[in-house]
Amino acid sequence: MFFPIEKFRSIPTPFYFYDVELFRRTAQVALSEAQKYGYAIHYALKANANEKLLRVLSGMGFGADCVSGAEVQRALDCGFAPQSIAFAGVGKRDDEINLGIDRRIFSFNCESEQELEVINALAAAKGTVAQVALRINPNVDAHTHAHITTGLDENKFGINLWQLNDVAKKVTQMANLKLVCIHFHIGSQITDFEPFIELCAKVNELQEQLERVGVRVEHVNVGGGLGVNYEHPEENIIPEFAAYFATLNRHIKLRTGQKLRCELGRSIAAQCGSLITKCLYVKELQKKNFVVVDAGMTDLIRPALYSAYHKIENITPQRTDQKAYDVVGPICESSDVFGRDVTLLQAQRGDLIAIRTAGAYGEVMASRYNLRQLPKAYFSDEV
Ligand code: LLP
């Protein structure tokens, strides 16, 4: 990835830097691979809800996957068609549901019988019909980090298999709901395709099960989850979209006229973003060397929260010697570490450091702990 270092020198650190051309190219590959099979992608705003990036996607014909009223509003403001918006989440408030009903969004992905009853009542009060999907918990293990595994019985998400027939029959009797879709999501950062194959088998089985009780849907939404290469971003700067969609196509049995939808987030946004930070101090101790940078876990929480690996580079030019450092932030928590024993070009105060593959679940998860400012975003076509 190209970093315009000289231009970076005049921007206060830390900040997020997005390569817009790479973002566009990534989205284009994802879209064309999906379109080979007539599939639709609802981009998961939770990964990165930056308005400029969202406008790129809405302009290309992506749909949106939202998990709050504010995300639904953001998607609408950034040009996504209401009929392309799926609204998921285990705890939707009434005002958020009403926004979706008023704007006639594509679907509410519902996670319990009680939620269906509430949406039915709110739609009835407005004299209208809301489109819903049943979010089914398929009990498929995504073999990813426990915090981002969602499709197991013990997770809070979705309608469990033992309830499914009952809930599906009930929803078809609710006068102000139209069941249009079944929805699944098993987890995130999935790099081995086996769990996706298992999910397809489960979808096939459940479609038959539902048909036996007279329930048929026009759409199947398999959620998100396609992983990216955090270790070697340059090797797979564009994630494996072709293989992902080919896998779905090979294993899922759609009915005539049925449309497959997915909700990719990380794979679209991760590689185009880096967190750019400055080396404040170099501490060379007997046992360890530390680079203290001005970004902290408030700017990028993934390493602290999930022990996630992000590649770290000293992008200051004209250095050759290397050294191993723990790269740490200024926050008063021992977990405020971006990487341990990271080999970097020898660091000096003032060096610029890039923390890579931070375009997804980076800026959106920032906080103001320690009363720090939220990081700003800069774009390759504007700096
Ligand atoms: N659909 C649903 C219902 C989801 O829960 C998620 C992510 C997605 C789609 C998008 O999944 P993706 O394609 O991005 O894997 N903060 C964590 C990731 C949390 C993912 C939550 N759900 C991280 O930094 O790794």
Place of tokens 């609710």: 174
Virtual torsion, Cα 193, 195, 200, 205, nearest 10 deg: 160
Domains and their CATH numbers in the chain? 5-15+271-379 (2.40.37.10), 20-270 (3.20.20.10)
Ligand 1 contact, 262 CB (< 6 A): no
Ligand 1: centre distance to CA 46 (Å):
7
Does the beta carbon of 71 sit less than 6 angstroms from any atom of ligand 1? no
Distance (Å, rounded) from C-alpha 87 to C-alpha 66?
Answer: 5
Nearest atom of ligand 1 to the alpha carbon of 190:
15
CA of 175 to the centre of ligand 1 (A): 32
pLDDT at 155: 74
What local confidence, expressed as pLDDT, does residue 112 receive?
93
CB of 235 closer than 8 Å to CB of 229: yes
Mutate to test the pocket of ligand 1, among 147, 220, 263 (most ligand atoms within 8 A of CB): 263
CA 44 – ligand 1 centroid, Å:
7
Which residue has the CA at smallest separation from atom 6 of ligand 1? 224
Report the pLDDT value the prediction gives residue 331, as an integer from 0 to 100: 97
Task: Say yes or no: CB of residue 65 within 6 Å of ligand 1.
Answer: yes
Atom of ligand 1 nearest to the CA of 183: 3
Per-residue pLDDT at 149:
67
Burial class of residue 86, CB neighbours in 10 A (0-12, 13-18, 19+)? buried
Q: Which atom of ligand 1 has the smallest separation from the CA of 135? A: 3
Per-residue pLDDT of the chain (383 residues; tens, 9 = 90+): 899 999 999 999 999 999 999 999 999 999 999 999 999 999 999 999 999 999 999 999 999 999 999 999 999 999 999 999 999 999 999 999 999 999 999 999 999 999 999 999 999 999 999 999 999 999 888 877 776 666 666 777 889 999 999 999 999 999 999 999 999 999 999 999 999 999 999 999 999 999 999 999 999 999 999 999 999 999 999 999 999 999 999 999 999 999 999 999 999 999 999 999 999 999 999 899 999 999 999 999 999 999 999 999 999 977 789 999 999 999 999 999 999 999 999 999 999 999 999 999 999 999 999 999 999 999 999 99
H or E element at residue 69: helix 69-77
Whether 43 is in the pocket of ligand 1, judged by its Cβ within 6 Å, is no
Q: Report the alpha-carbon distance of residue 120 to residue 50 in Å, rounded.
A: 32
How far CA 319 is from CA of 28, 315, 344, in Å, comes to: 36, 9, 10
**What are all long-range contacts of 364-369, with beta carbons under 8 Å and residues at least 24 apart?**
364/46, 364/47, 364/48, 364/49, 365/300, 365/301, 365/302, 366/298, 366/299, 366/300, 366/301, 367/298, 367/301, 368/298, 369/297, 369/298, 369/331
Is pTM beyond 0.85? Reply is: yes
How would you classify the pairing of strands 107-110 and 85-87?
parallel
